[in-house]
Amino acid sequence: MAQETNQTPGPMLCSTGCGFYGNPRTNGMCSVCYKEHLQRQQNSGRMSPMGTASGSNSPTSDSASVQRADAGLNNCEGAAGSTSEKSRNVPVAALPVTQQMTEMSISREDKITTPKTEVSEPVVTQPSPSVSQPSSSQSEEKAPELPKPKKNRCFMCRKKVGLTGFDCRCGNLFCGLHRYSDKHNCPYDYKAEAAAKIRKENPVVVAEKIQRI
């Protein structure tokens, strides 16, 4: 008998049929299914008192909403009446100012829509041939003639020497035959130039006089 009482019962599946093992403490359900079952019970318990409360308070809420709607309509009518009275009480002196403003705006719109188009006729200037001809003739007269290049010739025989001519100290150009001073009767005084050069290069040396005491 003791052996039969010590034997533990075998595992049992969840009563919801989810496939997991159940527990007799959780009404034969697994832990997940048991939690879902408790949440459903709590949600159902919360919804039922709200429904009863709403059912009991429905007539009073309807009457309160109707009263609020009536008060809102009365406020709207009062505001409309006050605005109409204010518009009636507007002074007459303000009306001409508004009329002037509207007239000014209309005149500006007319000016913008219908701009004045002034077309200026192009001025065509024709050149006069009588004026252009004298100017061209004057330009031709003012153009200076280019001087002809001077030909290098021998001062004695008038032979063309080009760049091979010889300049003498007398200031003339001569060929190879007349370049010497005795061939073209050169007036330059070579003796005087040589004497001046000697005097310059060899100054006179004079000893100082002895001063007697």
Residue 102 domain-assigned? no
30 is in an annotated binding site: yes
- Domain extent, residue 171, equals 151-199
For 47-61, b where at least 16 C-beta lie within 10 A, e where not — what string?
eeeeeeeeeeeeeee
Domain boundary among 35, 66, 86: 86
Residue 61 domain-assigned? yes
Looking up tokens 């007349």, which residue turns up? Answer: 178
Residue 145 domain-assigned? no
Residue 163 domain-assigned? yes
Domain boundary among 86, 109, 132: 86
76 is in an annotated binding site: no
Q: CATH code at 183?
A: 4.10.1110.10
Name beta bridge partners: 167.
Answer: 173
Domain boundary among 51, 86, 121: 86
What domain count does the chain have? 2
For the residues of 173-193, what is the DSSP string, one character each? EE-SSS-STTTTT----HHHH
Residue 24 domain-assigned? yes
Residue 5 domain-assigned? no
168 is in an annotated binding site: yes
Q: CATH code at 24?
A: 1.20.5
Summarised one tens digit per residue, pLDDT across range 111-157 is: 555 444 454 555 556 555 444 454 555 555 555 666 666 678 888 88
**Phi/psi zone of residue 171: left (φ > 0), alpha (ψ -120 to 50 degrees), beta?**
left
Overall pTM > 0.95: no
Q: Rounded distance, CA 15 to CA 34, Å?
A: 10
Residue 169 domain-assigned? yes
Summarised one tens digit per residue, pLDDT across range 4-51 is: 445 556 677 788 878 777 788 888 888 888 888 899 888 887 765 544
Summarised one tens digit per residue, pLDDT across range 151-202 is: 788 888 888 888 888 888 888 888 988 888 888 888 888 889 889 999 898 8
